[in-house]
Amino acid sequence: MKLLLIHADYMEYEVKKATRIAEEIEKDKKAVRVEEPLVVFTAVEKGDDEDVVEKAVKEIKSVAEKVGAQRVVVYPYAHLSSNLSDPQTAVKLLKLLESKLSENFEVHRAPFGWYKAFKISCKGHPLSELSRELKGKVLEVESGREKAEKEKEEEKELTQALKDEEKARSYWYILHEGKLVSVEDFDFSNYPKLKKFADYEISKRRAVDRVPPHVELMRRLQIADYESASDSGHMRYYPKGRLIKSLLEEFVTRKCIEYGAMEVETPIMYSRDHPTLRRYLERFPARQYIIKGDKREFFLRFAACFGQFLMCSDAIITYRNLPLKMYELTRYSFRKEQRGELVGLRRLRAFTMPDMHTLVRDMEQAKQEFLNQYKLGVETLRAIGLEPEDYEVAIRVTKDFYEENKDFINSLSEILNKPILIEMWDRRFFYFVLKFEFNFVDALDKASALSTVQIDVENAERYDISYVDEKGERKRPYILHCSASGAIERCMYALLEKAHMEMESGKLPMLPVWLSPIQVRVIPVSEKFLEYAEEVVTKLRKENIRADVDDRGETLGKKIRDASTEWIPYIVVVGEKELESGKLTVTVRAESELKKPKKVEMSVEELVERVRNECEGMPFKPLPLPVRLSERPSFR
């Protein structure tokens, strides 16, 4: 059993819709508000029994006494675990938990198997957020054996780089206006987000103990969800999510090709016995998926390095070809991230990585490409919808490289005119000497790397990659590893988290128009005007605009509210006035406020021109759903 305990000012929930496993409930339990409760989000797991309930009661009582809570809310929350029990067992144990807690507390148990909306106000003191994992006696014995076996297996997955990273010592600085200041001495008062980022990086605490806002948004907007039939960290993408993802993939690929990269394709698995690959695995800080073949073991790639480096090793390259850029969109790359770090689209075990590698002749050319690709990352994220103020910059560098290249590294902070975090190592324990990352800091103060570039000084030798210089002599190039955007899924996560934070500050959340699955919704005021609404939609679709029509038998108010909750950029209402005048009444989301919609009159042609201007230069894909809302399934 897994518990997430929140001491709250209040907790309120409203029952919305039953699933096929919903328990029966009384009417007075469909909408509940509890003041000053200890909220216990609960997931009942396989193997849980009455012994586990006793342990849960003991833990909950202990926490409630420490925080002075007299009321307890038991809230079934399946998302805490990927190893859930059957529904019958879950309900039985939750009822038992409710009964035993009722001996000491006023207990409210939210119904099992229902979709529910909830609001909670966490108090924010040191004991207000706690998590517990409980097992029965039988499982504790079994898990002891499992733990030993798991540790043995995980030891195989740990690379030498990961082991070295755990032992290595980092020195942390802030680079600002050409000066290096220790983190302890830097004044963060004007840079609160940088402070959160520095704290996160220095603590190296990656586990997530709360569900980040983007998870609720990706579900509510029917973009993506967890796939329980797969391994943790593998997602399913609904039509809207697949559209967003594919548009991002196409855009980043286009940016890299325009930058001069040659697109290639390489395998997703490689032999662990290959001597070159084996040595490289040991130098990369990632855990591996291992697959057993007939006679050999294979690993699933975590980037496109392997295939591209082997390709370069076989190629004939001269100084005239440099810098040589090679690109692949890896769908998918695989890293066996630790379970506690996996959450939503932020950190996955299977992800899509735009991966570019650049061969350069010497360090001067490497630095020039590093600078160019730094700027490429800024351009790429800006077009996606992430401005420099949305992310923080980190530079990771060895001490000797920094001392030899101070002016170059200092110049990086001037490009965005903002202070950046520096992690400096006494010695090099990875294959690179310099790396930058643009890191998005989310609503839970967790940071995630987006764009990144590394200068690799090892792998040309390891893979026997060479080029012929002007004198006809063979030389080893340096290699730059670049992802202009970071993982595609992580860009989606950052956009959703940014939208949530904008909503918290009083703005209407939305995606960039070119990424919005539905760009225009046309709503007839009654069935009488449905034919005209469909004519408008047909004109828009012919102009490569993703438009649909709400033909459902709902009230006009509900149709407008539904379109707003889908974050649709342009909502068009058509009735008698619009039919006679030929002008549309359009609600423009980007110019609206939470309770003050901005309505503009415009012709179809003017609306087309407006959407085109907002999407200029960006890729387009048609609507991935039926045009009529009445014909659409709901994936939630």
Q: What is the pLDDT of residues 542-587, one digit of tens each?
A: 999 999 999 999 999 999 999 999 999 999 999 999 999 989 999 9
Helix (H) or strand (E) holding 226, with range, is strand 224-226
- Give the model confidence (pLDDT) of 39-63 as tens digits: 999 999 988 999 999 999 999 999 9
- Sign for the CA dihedral angle at 518, 520, 521, 527 comes to negative
Looking at the predicted structure, is the pLDDT value of residue 154 above 50?
no
Q: Where are the beta strands (DSSP E) in 563-623?
A: 570-574, 584-588, 599-602
Residue with tokens 């890293």: 335
Statement: residue 162 has pLDDT above 60: no
- pTM to 2 decimal places: 0.76
Note the pLDDT tens digit of each residue in 528-538. Answer: 999 999 999 99
Residue 204 has pLDDT above 90, yes or no: no
Residue 167 binned pLDDT confidence (cut-offs 50, 70, 90): low
Give the integer Cα–Cα distance in Å for 589 and 597: 7
Determine the Cα–Cα distance for residues 9 and 122; give it in Å rounded to an integer.
6
Please report the pLDDT score of residue 155 as a whole number.
47
Instruction: Decide: 60 and 25 in contact? Cβ < 8 Å.
Output: no
pLDDT confidence of residue 161: 55
Query: Could you give phi then psi for residue 580, rounded to 5 degrees?
Result: -75, -40
What pLDDT does residue 136 have? 72
Write out pLDDT tens, residues 476-525: 999 999 999 999 999 999 999 999 999 999 899 999 999 999 999 999 99
- Whether residue 567 contacts residue 573, with contact meaning beta carbons closer than 8 Å, is answered with no
The 8-class DSSP code of residue 509 comes to: P
pLDDT at 530: 96
DSSP structure string for 23-63? PP--GGGSEEEEESEEEEEEE-BTT--HHHHHHHHHHHHHH
Q: How far apart are CA 422 and CA 424, in angstroms?
A: 6
Residue 24 has pLDDT above 80, yes or no: yes
146 close to 154: Cβ distance less than 8 angstroms:
no
Average pLDDT over residues 153-174: 64
Secondary structure of residue 70 in the 3-state scheme:
coil
Tokens representing residue 405 in the block? 């290249």
pLDDT category at 164 given cuts 50, 70, 90 is low
Residue of higher predicted confidence among 281 and 108: 108
**Averaged pLDDT score across all residues of the chain:** 91
Q: In the chain, what are the domains?
A: 2-143 (3.50.80.10), 169-264+302-497 (3.30.930.10), 513-631 (3.40.50.800)
How many alpha carbons fall within 13 Å on the CB side of residue 280?
A: 27
Task: Write the CB contacts of 496 (distance below 8 Å, at least 6 apart in sequence).
Answer: 213, 214, 217, 218, 223, 345
What are the start-end ranges of the E strands in 134-233?
170-176, 179-182, 224-226
Predicted pLDDT of residue 142:
45
Residue 223 pLDDT > 80, yes or no? yes
Partnered with residue 487 across adjacent β-strands are none
How would residue 188 be classed by pLDDT, with cut points 50, 70 and 90? very high
Cα–Cα distance, 46 to 56 (Å, whole number) = 15
For the ranges 105-114, 131-140, 249-258, the maximum mean pLDDT occurs at 249-258
Angle of CA points 208, 212, 215, to nearest 5°: 120
pLDDT at 286 over 50: yes
pLDDT-derived band at 177 (thresholds 50, 70, 90) equals: confident
Q: What distance in Å separates the CA atoms of residue 335 and residue 348, rounded to the nearest whole number?
A: 8
Task: Decide: helix, strand or coil at residue 480.
Answer: strand
User: Which one, of 29, 28, 33, lies nearest residue 9 by Cα?
Assistant: 33
Q: What is the pLDDT of residue 138?
A: 53
Length of the chain: 636
Instruction: Yes or no: say if 290 and 156 are a contact pair by the CB < 8 Å rule.
Output: yes
Secondary structure (H, E, C), 408-459: HHHHHHHHHCCCEEEEEECCCCCCEEEEEEEEEECCCCCEEEEEEEEEECCH
CA distance 488 to 244: 10
pLDDT class for 141, splitting at 50, 70, 90?
Answer: very low
9-23, 100-114, 134-148, 447-461: which has the minimum mean pLDDT?
A: 134-148
Percentage of residues of the chain with pLDDT beyond 70: 94
Rounded distance, CA 379 to CA 137, Å?
Answer: 56
Using DSSP, how many helices (H) and how many strands (E) does the chain show? 18, 29
pLDDT of residue 28: 73
Average of per-residue pLDDT across 336-349: 87
pLDDT of residue 151: 46
Instruction: Please give the DSSP secondary-structure letter assigned to residue 208.
Output: -
Contacts 24+ apart (CB under 8 A), 61-64: 61/101, 61/104, 63/5, 63/7, 63/38, 63/127, 63/130, 64/38, 64/104, 64/105
Residue 404 has pLDDT above 90, yes or no: yes
Residue with the bigger pLDDT between 278 and 354: it is 354
Neighbours of 95 (CB within 10 A): 15
